[in-house]
Amino acid sequence: MAHARHGHRVRWRRWVLLGLLALCATPLALAVAYRWLPVPATPLMVWRVVQGYGWKQNWVPLKALPAHVARSIIATEDNRFCTHGGVDWVEVQEVYEDWQDGETKLRGASTISMQVARNVFLWPNQDVVRKGLEVPFTYLIESLWGKRRILEVYVNVVEFGPGIYGVDAAAKWYFNKKARNLTAAESAKLASILPSPLRWGVQLKAGKSGPWVQKRSASIPRRVAQLGAESFGCLTRP
């Protein structure tokens, strides 16, 4: 009997070990595959379907998009994208200093790389565990993919509205055109709703951007010009 219990414990430990190995190996395998293959789905997309939203997405290569699409997104979401290593520690320090000064409404410090890491590999709910996993996954894709690929994945999986994922689906939904035909002004409008796409996307779809979106989108071309060409240098490298 004792021998049987011992054998059962050994088998149980073996299965636990195999499960842990699979849990660790699967994200790594996906990260390697997504270096070249389109990302077919993210946990957020699946969760939105469960919530009752649709699923509109069409993968497009970054090289097929006008330059102002990528530049508008970088200027809006992560203006040091080409210079940080995945985590913008300068921004983190500034947020920390604001917190020390008593600021209650702190801005986020998530970079484009961090957003891609959590959208592709992690669950949608915000919690301490997920936040802690963002950093290692961010450095993983920075080392495996590089900046151009990270941005390419971002523009194809980011949520632009209820069930709208990626810039091509967003261009079709909001402007009835392909992403490759977006104007600089339209690209700025799409970038301007990214902080809260479920809220602001409804207004943009109705043709009523609202004063906040209008003001934000109007400022983006100016921010792109202020950043200068060197801020987008990583987009020209493989």
Residue 74 confidence (pLDDT) above 90: yes
Say if residue 20 is in the same domain as residue 73: no
Phi, psi of 193 (to 5 degrees): -95, -5
Residue 16 confidence (pLDDT) above 50: no
Say if residue 19 is in the same domain as residue 47: no
pLDDT digits (tens, 9 = 90+) for 144-196: 999 999 999 999 999 999 999 999 999 999 999 999 999 999 999 999 999 88
Say if residue 28 is in the same domain as residue 56: no
Phi, psi of 231 (to 5 degrees): -75, -10
Answer for the pair 54, 163: CB distance below 8 angstroms, yes or no.
yes
Say if residue 73 is in the same domain as residue 179: yes
Say if residue 85 is in the same domain as residue 6: no
Say if residue 77 is in the same domain as residue 133: yes
Say if residue 135 is in the same domain as residue 203: yes
Residue 47 confidence (pLDDT) above 70: yes
More confident residue, 41 or 236: 41
pLDDT of 228: 83
pLDDT digits (tens, 9 = 90+) for 99-110: 565 565 545 678
Structural domain containing residue 2: 1-33
Residue 208 confidence (pLDDT) above 70: no
Answer for the pair 82, 233: CB distance below 8 angstroms, yes or no.
yes
- Mean predicted confidence (pLDDT) in 14-20: 49
| pTM across the whole model | 0.87
For residue 137, what is the domain's CATH number? 1.10.3810.10
Say if residue 23 is in the same domain as residue 64: no
Say if residue 2 is in the same domain as residue 46: no
pLDDT of 201: 85
Using alpha carbons, select from 72, 78, 107, 75 the residue that is nearest to residue 189. 72
Say if residue 72 is in the same domain as residue 53: yes
pLDDT of 71: 95
Say if residue 104 is in the same domain as residue 137: yes
Say if residue 152 is in the same domain as residue 104: yes
| Number of domains into which the chain is organized | 2
If residue 161 lies in a helix (H) or strand (E), which one and from where to where? Answer: strand 159-161
pLDDT of 203: 76
Query: Please, what is the average pLDDT of the chain?
Result: 85
pLDDT above 90: percentage of residues in the chain: 60
DSSP 9-72: HHHHHHHHHHHHHHHHHHHHHHHHHTTTS-----HHHHHHHHHT---EE----GGGS-HHHHHH
